[in-house]
Each structure stands twice: as structure tokens, then as C-alpha cells.
Amino acid sequence: MPRITHMTAREVFDSRGRPTVEVVVTCAGGRPCRAITPAGASTGAAEAAELRDGGNRLGGWGVRRAVENVRTEIANAFVGCDAADQALIDQRLIDLDGTPNKSRLGANAILAVSLASAYAAASTFGRSPIEHFQRLWKKIPSTLSSEAPAAPASATSIGAGPSLPLPMVNMISGGKHAGGQLDFQDFLLMPVGATSFSQGLEWIITVYQTLGRVLNASGYEGTLVGDEGGYGPRLQSNQEALDLIIEAIQRAGYRPGDDLAFAIDVASTHFYRDGFYHLAADGGRRLSSQEMIASLVDWVDHYPILSIEDGLAEEDWEGWQALTSTLAERVQLIGDDLFATNVNRLQRGIDLGAGNSVLIKLNQIGTLTETLQTMRLAVDHGYAPVISARSGETEDVTIADLAVATGAGQIKIGSVARSERLVKYNQLLRWEEELNAPYVGSAALYEAQG
């Protein structure tokens, strides 16, 4: 049994230069293994709570208290524990914290402990992280009643793992991730026509570089990038962003829609106030839920958009039901702020018919086991899981390992610039070569049944 012999933590810095928590766990017979917690900017209200120091130091973003919690209270409780029993580790973290949103010890402290323990257990067993995560994933019980017929599984079935995911890659950033006028937070591309992960990534990189030249030629900034590496030009409208990306796809020699299709992250919670969606672009408009849905339908009618994330706000459940009955046959509707990787919120969505896919962000919920439980619930109910980075990232590659091991099918890492993004793509390239695992490609997108 991989018994935890040592646990420590330190304050390190993320891709925005903000402090975050790194935890190092060592088991008897294994090597020290570390994990670092990421951080969002467009955070949802239902997310687990980060513990920040406040005060004057580093603008109040310091995490010394969270680090101290790991070094003292958490380490004292966990040294001697079996790191292989991830479910027990995570339950003990939840119990020790004692709050519903992990605010006492800090979800930023708790997640790094949870993940570093998993890597430490894998190291002691001499297993690759893929093998270890796969075992943990398989141990998560089904959420379906025993009478429910099992879905037919193939190597690329979602959740059958290991497989290489379809990447959803940021080209232009708006919203809270850049300084421009765009309401939509991310304009992304998915290489739906590629036959391997590496081919898809190569197409994306070619289009990304072409887009930089197209932006420059159109008189826009084509070098400066936003938090996730997407370009941050001061465009006048969301439509202009989509048109420029289409131009880049064509100039690079690919077919919009067939080779590369759009995904958008509207992140609409951040312009929803008093029951209305307040759009800044396109001259400034105030839309009701129904009008917002009509506008999304219009986008889908005119552009090859196959996925829309947070098309409506996190508390607009009724709007989400209407959006889903209107568009679910045609596009993947991902809940990010809506579900917050939370099993109870996802269950509510399933019951209400809200959304058909779920963004999976480990630090929204705060432990590995709870993340896997949310993924299990999604897969059992035909919701497509999309494993996602945060806008504040580091060299930690856990999401790449997790996406491959579980066969989640889709991954959203940001753009193809800035090393906190590229470390994950590069890790996926390594797994592709080493495991010879299948590429899920466009089959990973949510598909309406019947």
C-alpha cells in the first residue's frame, strides 16, 4: 500500500503571475510528486472557494494561508494514509474542511493535495498516470439503475478510454480574458475533419498563425494575446471575429465546417444583470432570454458552429431549458458556470433538460473523486464531458492525463501560444505516440439521440 510519508506545499505563480498552491506528496517507496492548482477569471458563483490571503501583499492574491493549511492541518491528518484509496483521501479532505464549498482550508489547497496524492500513488505502484487514472475512473460507480441497458461501447466511446481527445482551441479572446469590445469570451476551433490528434493540432496551429497575419493585414493587432493565448484584437463585433477566422481557415487551405468547425464560449453570466443580457458589441443591446436564444440560433444558422458554452447565465435555468429544446438537436450546449463541475447541479440540469454537455474543471469542485463522479453522471446520461483548463494555468499537465485516461473525448486548453497551454498539448502528443490510442475526433461531440 502506498502510504503517505511526507506532504508539503509552497506558494508558486500561475500564468497571470498570481500566486497559487503547489503540493508535494511522497509515499513510501515512491518519488515526490507534485500538483499545482489553476485559477479562473470568469468564475461561476457555484464554484468551490479559493482561499486567498487578502491584505496588501501581492494585491491580496497571496495563498500563504492555504499553503500553511496543507503543511500543518492537512499533512498531520494524512501522513500515514493510503494514497491508493483516492475516494477515501478525497472524502477525508471534504470532512476535514467541513464547509459545503471548501472555503475553510481552501479548494486551492485541497485540489493540489488530491491530485498530488494520485500521482504519488501511481509512482509507488510504478504505474503511468494514465493507468492509475483509468483505474480510478473505472472504480466510480454507475449512476444508472441496474435495469438500464448498458450503452454499446467501442474503443472511441466516450468514457471507454484511453483515447486522444478532440481539442477545442481558442483563436480570438474577448470577454473577461481580453481588453476588447467582444462580448463572447472565446472564439474557438475544433479540427473535426482530422484523423489524428497530431494532425488536428497541426491544422489548428497553421490557422492560428495565418489568423495573426490576417489580423495584421486588416489593421488589427495580430501579435498580442489574451489570458489563454488567443488573439485580443479590438474588433467591433462578434461577427467580425467569426469572419476573420473563416478567412484564416480558407487562406490556410482548409474548409470551414468540414475540416475545422467553430465552438464559442459566450460566458454570458458575466453580462447578465436584472434578468437581461447586456451586450456591448454590435452597438450595445439589452436582450431577454428569448431574444438571446434567437440570437444564438441566428449565429448557428449563419456559421458552422457545433458547440456553444454558457450561452445563457448560470442561474437562468428556465432559459436553459428553452435553449436546449430549441438547439440541442443541432449543437452541443455546454454548461460551465451553469454546472460548475458539481454533481448536484448537473443532476438538476439532467432532470430539467438543461444543456447537453458539461465543462469539467477540477478546481470548480476541488477533488479528483468528485470530478470523476460528475463525469460519470454526464457519460451515463449522454452529456458530453469537456475537460477544461482555467484562464490562470501552470506547467501542471493533469488535465491532459485525465482526458486521455478517462477517454473523455474533448479537451479545452486555451490557444496554441503560451507555454502553460503548450505543455498540455505536448503531453497529449507524447501520449498519442506512446499509447497508440485512438483519436475520438468529431465523434466526441454531443449527438442528439434518435
> What amino acid positions are annotated as catalytic residues?
228, 361
Q: Is 336 in the site for Zn ion (CB under 5 A)?
A: yes
Contacts 24+ apart (CB under 8 A), 349-353: 349/320, 349/383, 350/377, 350/381, 350/383, 352/317, 352/320, 352/321, 353/321, 353/324, 353/325
CA angle 14, 15, 18 (to 5 degrees): 45
Question: Residue 259: which of ligand PGA, Zn ion, none does it interact with, CB under 5 to 8 A by kind?
Answer: none
- Binding segment for Zn ion (CB under 5 A), chosen from 107-115, 261-269, 272-280, 283-291, is 261-269
Is 183 a binding residue for ligand PGA by CB under 6 A? The answer is no
Regarding 52 and contact with ligand PGA (CB under 6 A), the answer is: no
The beta-strand segments (E) located in 282-424 are 285-287, 305-309, 332-335, 357-360, 384-388, 410-414
Q: How far is the CB of 261 from ligand PGA (least distance, A)?
A: 18
Task: With contacts defined by CB under 5 A, name the span among 163-171, 234-242, 263-271, 315-323 that binds Zn ion.
Answer: 263-271
Instruction: Verify binding: residue 228, Zn ion, rule CB under 5 A.
Output: no
Q: Does 357 engage in binding with ligand PGA (CB under 6 A)?
A: no
> Quick one: 22 or 314, whose CB is closer to Zn ion?
314
49 binds ligand PGA (CB under 6 A): no
Name which of ligand PGA, Zn ion, none residue 69 binds, using a CB cut-off of 5 to 8 Å depending on partner kind.
none
Q: Give the whole-angstrom CA distance, residue 145 versus residue 278.
A: 43
Q: Is the peptide bond before 162 cis (omega within 30 degrees of 0)?
A: yes
Q: Which does 43 bind (CB under 5 to 8 A by kind): ligand PGA, Zn ion, none?
A: ligand PGA
Q: Interface mask (CB under 6 A) for ligand PGA, residues 4-43, using x and -?
A: ------------------------------------xxxx
> Burial of 391 by CB count in 10 Å (0-12 exposed, 13-18 middle, 19+ buried)?
buried
Q: Which is nearer to ligand PGA, 227 or 259 (CB)?
A: 227
* Cα(34)–Cα(25) distance, integer angstroms: 6
Nearest to 169 by CA among 186, 148, 154: 186
DSSP letters for 54-68: -SSGGGGT--HHHHH
Interacting positions 124-143 with ligand PGA (CB under 6 A): none
> Which C-beta is closer to Zn ion: that of 360 or that of 416?
360
Decide if 392 contacts 108 (C-beta within 8 A). no
Which of Zn ion, ligand PGA, none lies near 390, with the C-beta cut-off 5 to 8 A by kind? ligand PGA
Among the listed ranges 82-90, 291-299, 375-383, 387-395, the one in contact with ligand PGA (CB under 6 A) is 387-395
- DSSP β-bridge partners for residue 164: 439
Binding partner selected for residue 40 from ligand PGA, Zn ion, none, CB under the kind-specific 5 to 8 Å limit: ligand PGA
Work out what residue 156 binds among Zn ion, ligand PGA, none; the CB cut-off runs from 5 to 8 Å by kind: none
In the set 90, 97, 259, 265, which binds Zn ion (CB under 5 A)? 265
Q: Which stretch binds Zn ion (CB under 5 A): 16-24, 125-133, 265-273, 413-421?
A: 265-273
Are 390 and 361 contacting, i.e. CB atoms less than 8 angstroms apart?
Answer: yes
Asked if 289 touches ligand PGA (CB under 6 A), the answer is: no
Residue matched to cell numbers 494532425 = 199
**Least separation, in Å, of the C-beta of 276 and ligand PGA?**
21
- Looking at 390, 421, 424, 439, which residue binds ligand PGA (CB under 6 A)? 390
Q: Grid coordinates 485512438 are at which residue?
A: 438
Cβ-based nearer residue to Zn ion, 210 or 410: 410
In terms of Cα–Cα distance, which of 147, 224, 168 is closest to 418? 224
**Looking at this protein, which amino acid is placed at residue 177?**
H
CA–CA dist 54, 253 (Å, integer): 50
Half-sphere exposure of 95 (CA within 13 A, CB side): 8
Site residues (CB under 6 A) for ligand PGA, limited to 256-275: 265, 267
Q: Which stretch binds Zn ion (CB under 5 A): 60-68, 128-136, 264-272, 375-383?
A: 264-272
Closest to ligand PGA by CB, 45 vs 155, is 45
CA distances from 394 to 44, 62, 421, 424 (A): 21, 16, 8, 10
CB-wise, 184 or 254, nearer to ligand PGA? 184
Helix axes 197-217, 238-251, angle to 10 degrees: 120
Q: How far apart are CA 338 and CA 47, in angstroms?
A: 10
Positions in the binding site for ligand PGA (CB under 6 A): 40-43, 185, 265, 267, 336, 388, 390-391
Positions in the binding site for Zn ion (CB under 5 A): 265, 309, 336
